[in-house]
């Protein structure tokens, strides 16, 4: 088996960071140095990769067992009664991604027990595969009722819902990873049998269905690289070209509304989109297709100029887990799915490999250190699906999700991070990321051993020691990050307040060295020798970031960034565990200090600021001075749920003052909706901009419909009350909540709930407060009974009591 693997590698050329053999004739002009050749020993990434190996991978395996994902394969093989099955027809991919991540981990750290476990899983998967290669447990197990997303016949379902081909793509990705990690063909043969079925069923003159959720295109390209079988590459291109040009009506949601070569803006489901752009890049590299390249370059520019979060996240809205309109970048309701960040890394990596421009690595680095890393807790067993940029305490990392794609995706991604450090093109070595590490690199000029010595990202000094050098000259290209050149991101979406460039020092053996700048790289060509030491000193300044004025959610706010790290302010570090009421002047001085005992060791930022609080019966605010402390965004929510802000107000109008001590704010809130985080929204005195406003905490009873629900205030002491105001939550036309069909207000008397005597009552409307005035009553509490619409749910933003 290993001889077969070796012959493939020798015949097809270099190996990428994910261990894929490359076609010698057509491929990316730049090739990554495999992650197996780069060995981290730093204090930042190495511990996180170790946690992934020791905690996240075993944890995910256990959860796949507990939740029935592995049982799905046993049921499909007829080895278990069907009974209750898991929730989503793409649950198979969690097992595939787990095997992929474990395989990567095995390549850097052999583990016989883990390898044995993978063999057992692969045997179970093999038994579930149908004789012709079909592998989709939700159909093969023949449940009493097919999942609503599945058609009675293979492939024939609205593509946006069917995940048959999506499952195939992750199967191929995992099978290649396992094969190259172990030399065993047991999983690869399953994937090839399945891929050959796709060749039989799909293509010109055959089935004309495009993948609703893209990833099979990337997987087929990987199979092509390993086998050299051109039909796999042709099918990947077919799946791309049929979008917007097939027999099934497409949609922006799945990027099937137009032919891929006619798409020039990022739209729809962000994960699907970024996987598709990555697949287009792969196929373009392997075929030389220029139209694909032109399209994804335009789309990339659209994202950079209009749709990228400062953390590198993409996908502004939970409606379709999708990109929003230009400059639509809400903070508290930001979706920025972890899977989308991983897909965005893949996409930007491919864009770099295509043309060697550092701007793509600038974005990749931003994602890695911020919007991607925030997706997993420091402990490795708690996770974010969306990654908001603000919170009022309603967000909390979860131990698991019914849709667990982000969890399994993190386990497969983390071991491959070292593969993004170096890349090469002939005798040019690109140094893209700065991490304390050793590496063994093969260049045409000869063998190179390189050691990086650095405390990046906390310090900007990087030493590169040549431990073994080729006899011939070669070129080192050092990426000078955009942030070190006072460029926040490529494009005009974000900018640093301080635009003055700081000096960047590059020394060779202690002396200044001449270099030229090309596409963001400092280029040094010479005959290197063993013992040469190259030193790079990057200006790790604290930067205040402002957003384009068209990003309405960030007006009168700035964010803090130091090097590649984006910061946030979080409750546990600040007065009263509150941050949404904080204001920091634009000109305030900021200090940096490393705290080794905080959050596994982080650089914190501090500044002088103030906080505000509302008062009863006046619009005047109470102000108090305080020290404001910021932590790296990736490390937030590791100490429980609480308030958080990335974009810090510098004007009081942008802050949310702490509530005044009103009857409502001092009440205990309870409801038929048992989620305690939702209940905080009832009396937080946040003024919604509309019934659809998601930038705060709100209460909803979804998915309940046509029922009577309730929410209740228990006062701190008996109060005489005479009126109330309600602001309803309504996320129509796409969401599940509408204004109520009706409501009734009750007051507590002698342990009973009695209806108030209504004197005046507004009609139930959205986008405004609805008032009710009633005969005054002295009571210890009020209860609001809400009649949900017949075919929708309902919810509330705020409940005021007078």
What is the C-alpha separation between 100 and 94, in angstroms, rounded?
10
- For the cut 70, the answer to whether the pLDDT of residue 706 exceeds it is yes
Q: What pLDDT, on the 0 to 100 scale, is given for residue 801?
A: 96
Looking at per-residue confidence, does 358 or 207 come out higher?
Answer: 358
Q: What pLDDT, on the 0 to 100 scale, is given for residue 668?
A: 96
- For the cut 60, the answer to whether the pLDDT of residue 597 exceeds it is yes
- For the cut 70, the answer to whether the pLDDT of residue 10 exceeds it is no
CA distances from 533 to 277, 422, 449, 462, 521 (A): 39, 17, 12, 10, 18
Rounded (5°) CA angle 376-378-380: 60
Phi/psi region, residue 413 (left: phi>0; alpha: psi -120 to 50; beta: rest), is alpha
Confidence of residue 47 (pLDDT cuts 50, 70, 90): very high
Q: List CB contacts of 74: < 8 A, sequence separation 6 or more.
A: 80, 124, 127, 128
Q: What pLDDT, on the 0 to 100 scale, is given for residue 488?
A: 96
Confidence of residue 25 (pLDDT cuts 50, 70, 90): low
Phi, psi angles (nearest 5°) of residue 694? -110, 10
What is the C-alpha separation between 300 and 681, in angstroms, rounded?
37
Most confidently modeled range among 204-213, 239-248, 716-725 = 716-725
> Among 639, 477, 649, 634, which residue's Cα sits nearest to residue 564?
634
Write out pLDDT tens, residues 411-455. 999 999 999 999 999 999 999 999 999 999 999 999 999 999 999
Q: What pLDDT, on the 0 to 100 scale, is given for residue 156?
A: 82
- For the cut 70, the answer to whether the pLDDT of residue 242 exceeds it is yes
- For the cut 50, the answer to whether the pLDDT of residue 375 exceeds it is yes
**Residues labelled catalytic:** 321, 405
What is the C-alpha separation between 278 and 268, in angstroms, rounded?
15
Q: What is the mean pLDDT of residues 323-331?
A: 97
User: How many residues are listed for the chain in this entry?
Assistant: 802
Cβ atoms < 10 Å from Cβ of 244: 18
Q: What proportion of the chain, given as a percentage, has pLDDT over 90?
A: 90
Q: What pLDDT, on the 0 to 100 scale, is given for residue 20?
A: 39
Write out pLDDT tens, residues 543-566. 999 999 999 999 999 999 999 999
Cβ atoms < 10 Å from Cβ of 605: 21
Q: Check whether the bond before 772 is cis (ω within 30° of 0).
A: no
Q: Strand 557-562 and strand 565-570: pairing?
A: antiparallel
Radius of gyration of the chain (CA): 28
3-state secondary structure 154-220: CCCCCCCCCCHHHHHHHHHHHHHHHHHHHCCCHHHHHHHHHHHHHHHHECCCCECCCCCCCCHHHHH
- For the cut 50, the answer to whether the pLDDT of residue 503 exceeds it is yes
Token look-up 């992929």 returns 100
Which two structure tokens, joined as six digits, stand for 618? Answer: 């006046």
> The whole model's pTM is what?
0.93
Which two structure tokens, joined as six digits, stand for 34? Answer: 């495999």
Q: What pLDDT, on the 0 to 100 scale, is given for residue 142?
A: 94
Bridge partners (DSSP) listed for residue 428 = 425, 475
Lowest mean pLDDT among 15-24, 598-607, 695-704: 15-24
- For the cut 50, the answer to whether the pLDDT of residue 9 exceeds it is no
Which two structure tokens, joined as six digits, stand for 47? Answer: 């511990």
Bridge partners (DSSP) listed for residue 468 = 449
- For the cut 60, the answer to whether the pLDDT of residue 239 exceeds it is yes
> Among 164, 12, 5, which residue's Cα sits nearest to residue 92?
164
- For the cut 60, the answer to whether the pLDDT of residue 6 exceeds it is no
Cβ atoms < 10 Å from Cβ of 668: 12
- For the cut 60, the answer to whether the pLDDT of residue 23 exceeds it is no
Q: What pLDDT, on the 0 to 100 scale, is given for residue 267?
A: 98
Domains, the chain, with CATH or none: 2-420 (1.50.10), 423-479+503-537 (2.60.420), 545-654 (no CATH), 668-801 (2.60.120.260)
Token look-up 């399209």 returns 295
Q: What proportion of the chain, given as a percentage, has pLDDT over 70?
A: 97
| Three-state SS at 644 | strand
Write out pLDDT tens, residues 164-192. 999 999 999 999 999 999 999 999 999 99
CA distances from 66 to 71, 85, 86, 384, 385 (A): 9, 12, 11, 20, 20
Q: What pLDDT, on the 0 to 100 scale, is given for residue 620?
A: 84
Which two structure tokens, joined as six digits, stand for 149? Answer: 């997303």
Q: What is the mean pLDDT of the chain?
A: 94
Rounded (5°) CA angle 780-786-787: 150
Q: Dihedral, CA atoms, 105, 107, 109, 113, nearest 10 degrees?
A: 80
Phi, psi angles (nearest 5°) of residue 449? -110, 125
- 777 exposure class (CB count in 10 Å sphere: 0-12, 13-18, 19+): middle
Q: What pLDDT, on the 0 to 100 scale, is given for residue 19?
A: 38
Asked if residues 716 and 724 have their Cβ atoms less than 8 Å apart, the reply is no
| Three-state SS at 770 | strand
Q: What is the mean pLDDT of residues 389-417?
A: 95
> Among 113, 114, 94, which residue's Cα sits nearest to residue 104?
114
Could you give the residue ranges of the DSSP H alpha helices within 587-660? Answer: none
Which two structure tokens, joined as six digits, stand for 377? Answer: 């807790």
What is the C-alpha separation between 135 and 119, in angstroms, rounded?
18
Q: What pLDDT, on the 0 to 100 scale, is given for residue 162?
A: 82
Confidence of residue 24 (pLDDT cuts 50, 70, 90): very low
């Amino acid at each position: 088996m290993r001889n077969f693997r070796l012959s493939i590698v020798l015949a097809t050329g270099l190996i990428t960071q994910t261990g894929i053999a490359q076609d010698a004739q057509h491929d990316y002009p730049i090739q990554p140095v495999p992650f197996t050749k780069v060995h981290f020993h730093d204090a930042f990434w190495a511990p996180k990769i170790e946690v992934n190996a020791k905690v996240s991978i075993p944890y995910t395996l256990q959860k796949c067992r507990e939740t029935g994902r592995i049982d799905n394969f046993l049921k499909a093989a007829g080895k278990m009664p069907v009974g209750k099955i898991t929730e989503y027809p793409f649950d198979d991919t969690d097992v595939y991604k787990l095997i992929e991540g474990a395989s990567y981990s095995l390549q850097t750290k052999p583990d016989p027990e883990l390898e044995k476990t993978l063999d057992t899983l692969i045997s179970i998967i093999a038994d579930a595969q149908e004789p012709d290669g079909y592998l989709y447990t939700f159909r093969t197990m023949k449940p009493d009722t097919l999942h609503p997303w599945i058609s009675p016949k293979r492939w024939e379902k609205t593509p946006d819902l069917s995940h048959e081909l999506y499952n195939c793509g992750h199967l191929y990705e995992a099978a290649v990873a396992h094969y190259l990690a172990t030399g065993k063909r047991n999983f690869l043969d399953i994937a090839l049998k399945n891929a050959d079925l796709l060749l039989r069923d799909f293509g010109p003159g055959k089935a004309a269905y495009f993948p609703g959720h893209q990833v099979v295109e990337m997987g087929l390209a990987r199979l092509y690289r390993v086998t050299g079988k051109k039909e796999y590459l042709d099918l990947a291109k077919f799946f791309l070209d049929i979008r917007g040009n097939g027999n099934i009506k497409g949609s922006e949601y799945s990027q099937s509304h137009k032919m891929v070569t006619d798409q020039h803006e990022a739209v729809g489901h962000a994960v699907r989109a970024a996987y598709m752009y990555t697949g287009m890049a792969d196929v373009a590299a392997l075929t030389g297709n220029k139209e694909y390249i032109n399209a994804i370059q335009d789309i990339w520019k659209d994202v950079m100029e209009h749709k990228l979060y400062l953390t590198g996240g993409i996908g502004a809205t939970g409606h379709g887990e999708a990109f929003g309109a230009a400059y639509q970048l809400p903070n508290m309701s930001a979706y920025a799915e972890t899977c989308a960040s991983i897909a965005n890394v893949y996409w930007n990596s491919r864009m770099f490999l295509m043309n060697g421009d550092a701007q793509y690595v600038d974005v990749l680095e931003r994602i890695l250190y911020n919007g991607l890393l925030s997706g997993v807790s420091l402990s490795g067993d708690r996770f974010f699906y969306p990654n908001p940029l603000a919170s009022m305490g309603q967000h909390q990392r979860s131990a698991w999700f019914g849709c667990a794609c982000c969890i399994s995706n993190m386990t497969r991604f983390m071991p491959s991070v070292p593969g993004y450090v170096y890349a090469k093109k002939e005798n040019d070595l690109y140094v893209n990321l700065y991490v304390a590490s050793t590496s063994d690199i093969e260049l045409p000029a000869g063998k190179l051993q390189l050691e990086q010595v650095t405390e990046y990202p906390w310090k900007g000094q990087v030493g590169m020691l040549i431990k073994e050098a080729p006899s011939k000259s070669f070129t080192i290209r050092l990426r000078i990050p955009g942030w070190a050149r006072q460029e926040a991101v490529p494009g005009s979406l974000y900018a640093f307040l301080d635009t003055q460039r700081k000096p960047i020092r590059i020394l060779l053996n202690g002396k200044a060295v001449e270099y030229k700048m090309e596409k963001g790289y400092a280029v040094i060509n010479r005959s290197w020798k063993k013992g040469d030491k190259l030193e790079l000193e990057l200006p790790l300044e604290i930067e205040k970031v402002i957003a384009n004025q068209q990003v309405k959610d960030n007006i009168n706010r700035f964010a803090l960034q130091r090097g590649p790290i984006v910061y946030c302010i979080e409750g546990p570090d600040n007065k009263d565990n509150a941050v949404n009421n904080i204001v920091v002047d634009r000109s305030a001085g900021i200090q940096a200090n490393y705290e080794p005992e905080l959050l596994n060791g982080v650089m914190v930022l501090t500044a002088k600021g103030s906080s505000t609080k509302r008062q009863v019966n006046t619009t005047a605010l109470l102000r108090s001075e305080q020290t404001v402390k910021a932590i790296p965004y990736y490390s937030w929510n590791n100490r429980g749920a609480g308030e958080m802000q990335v974009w810090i107000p510098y004007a009081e109008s942008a802050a949310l003052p702490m509530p005044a001590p009103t009857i409502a704010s001092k009440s205990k809130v309870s409801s038929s909706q048992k989620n305690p985080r939702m209940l905080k929204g009832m009396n937080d005195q946040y003024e919604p901009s509309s019934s659809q406003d998601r930038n705060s905490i709100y209460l909803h009873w979804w998915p309940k419909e046509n029922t009577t629900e309730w929410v209740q205030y228990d006062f701190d002491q008996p109060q005489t009350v005479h009126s109330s105001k309600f602001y309803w939550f309504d996320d129509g036309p796409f969401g599940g909540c509408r204004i109520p069909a009706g409501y009734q207000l009750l007051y507590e008397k002698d342990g009973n709930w009695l209806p108030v005597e209504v004197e005046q009552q507004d009609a139930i409307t959205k986008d405004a407060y609805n008032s009710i005035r009633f005969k005054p009553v002295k009571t210890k509490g009020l209860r609001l009974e809400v009649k949900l619409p017949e075919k929708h749910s309902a919810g509330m933003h705020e409940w005021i009591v007078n």
